[in-house]
Amino acid sequence: MIANTKLRCEVCGFEGTTDFAHSLSRGWPTCHGYTMRLISTEADIPSAVARVVADQLPRSENQHLAKPNEETGDDGDIANFADL
């Protein structure tokens, strides 16, 4: 995990860090029963979302996502998920 996102608890002021993609897929951190507020992130959000989406698909359904397509010019980079 890469700690690339800063968070803050609005109740007690505690500040921490998390990996954006990991938290997006496994659940956003909480403190005092509330979801922590995002303060800043250095994460590549489109890539993080694409990684989460690819992880959620069954293996047989996401294999085509990483293969280059010579007809369309797609290089197979999962970050191009908006083109799907």
pTM above 0.85, yes or no: no
> In this model, does residue 72 exceed pLDDT 50?
yes
pLDDT bin (cut points 50, 70, 90) of residue 84 is very low
Domain ranges of the chain: 1-43, 44-84
Q: What is the pLDDT of residues 21-69, one digit of tens each?
A: 888 888 999 999 999 999 988 888 888 888 888 877 766 555 555 555 5
Tokens 């694409």 found at: 50
d(CA 16, CA 14): 7
Are the C-beta atoms of residues 25 and 56 closer than 8 Å to each other? yes
Are the C-beta atoms of residues 25 and 43 closer than 8 Å to each other? no
Tokens 């990991």 found at: 22
Are the C-beta atoms of residues 52 and 25 closer than 8 Å to each other? yes
